[in-house]
Amino acid sequence: MVAFEQPHPHGALPPLAHLELPFFDDEHRALANRLAPWAASQEVDESDDRTACREWVRRLGADGWLRYCVAADHGGALPTLDSRALVILRETLAYHSPLADFAFAMQGLGSGALSLAGTPEQQTRYLPAVGRGEKIAAFALSEPDAGSDVAAMVTRATPSASGWTLNGCKTWISNGGLADFYLVFAKTDPDAGSRGISAFVVDADCTGLDSSEHLHVMAPHPLATLRFTDCAVTSDALVGPQQGGFKLAMKTLDIFRPSVAAAALGMARRAFAEAVAHAKSRKMFGQTLADFQLTQARLGEMGALIDAAAMLTYRAAWMRDRSATSGAGTAAYTAAAASAKLTATENAQKVIDMALQLFGGRGVQVGQVIEHLYRDIRSLRIYEGASEVQLLILGRHALKP
């Protein structure tokens, strides 16, 4: 099947009125106006998620969209990573194909640590190729017993004569078995908790790395378990300072957290558009579904949930870009990003569920847009910080002096 078999009922373009909000600059509006028709025109066979992801990376790279994942010094479109540009890209791509959004997002997340703390040699070797779609990136943080509790990771990196030797296991790794390189987090001081974590860039063909165990989930996309068995990397594989891996991982996730909210927002907007079109055309009891007050109330609730998520998402991205420019503290932004991620993903789940209910039996038919969205949205409430983790972040922020 192609990315969403049914044509969009309103001409294949998502709403763009929100771009007039003061959170965005003219360059962001220009980006959205270029991207929307491009995304609407793409047709990719997604029956095989791995083949489709490779094709999406190729297209996104060839047409310049992956340049927003890297800074201008390395072939990027903007001087630095820009959260508002990432939000626009992910919202628009997710509106048309959550798998396209996934392919884009992982290029940024998988290479983000190199953009933030890589050596000039590391940045030159990987980032231009990421921006062109010639190298696929992956972010390897989670382990079987260390997901939300990052400090519990047990993967070890021990010094060797030529660099480091990695042993351990990573799982739920997006682009696992597909990526050309992995940003791997491992303990270099096993007794120091989160302060003992370091980051390494590991090429996919490195001896001792096995990525053959693929994972299958309800909304197919490339996932795998990575096993490191005496995997030797040279000293120049270390990214950032030794024992600085935890902070680097959190900084990377902070940049991309509003964009996760944006992906959820894009899916919610698509479900809403599908629901409105269906309500107007569905004949029932001598009138249309849209004529019933209960339908109108439900659509009103969906619209309000989307607007609330949008305001928090755009505010968080604006705050991140503003703090990056001014060098201001990040505590307020971290809370804003958590609020955006929590609200947008939870609200999108509600909106899509309401849309499916309006479709009745058709809503659960495999291959329908709403059915596809219903499966795609669920994982966003878990990855890159589950909703419960976002609640803890917000609670702790509220209790600070």
Nearest to 174 by CA among 106, 88, 242: 106
Distance of alpha carbon 189 from alpha carbon 22, whole angstroms:
46
Instruction: Give residue for tokens 């969209």.
Output: 65
Angle at 262 between CA 325 and CA 224, to 5 degrees: 105
The mean per-residue pLDDT over the stretch 342-348 comes to: 98
| CB of 267 closer than 8 Å to CB of 377 | yes
Per-residue model confidence as pLDDT tens digits over 76-103: 999 999 999 999 999 999 999 999 999 9
**Nearest by Cα to 398 from 345, 351, 306, 331:** 331
Query: Binning pLDDT at 50, 70 and 90, where does residue 149 land?
Result: confident
Compute the average pLDDT of residues 344-362: 97
Measured between alpha carbons, how far is 55 from 263 in angstroms, rounded to an integer?
A: 20
Q: Can you tell me the mean pLDDT for 152-179? A: 96
Catalytic residue among 55, 91, 346, 384: 384
Q: Tell me, what's the pLDDT at 259? A: 96
Closest CA to 67 of 56, 55, 79: 79
Query: What per-residue confidence (pLDDT) applies to 327?
Result: 61
Strand-pair partners of 173: 224
Both structure tokens of 75: 């072939």
At a CB cut-off of 8 Å and minimum separation 6, what does 121 contact? 236
Region label for 82, one of left (φ > 0), alpha (ψ between -120 and 50) or beta (otherwise): beta
Tally of CB atoms within 10 A around 23: 21
Global confidence as pTM: 0.93
Mean pLDDT to the nearest integer, 150-177: 96
The answer to whether residue 10 scores a pLDDT higher than 70 is no
Q: Would you call 55 a catalytic residue per the annotation?
A: no
Whether residue 308 contacts residue 343, with contact meaning beta carbons closer than 8 Å, is answered with yes
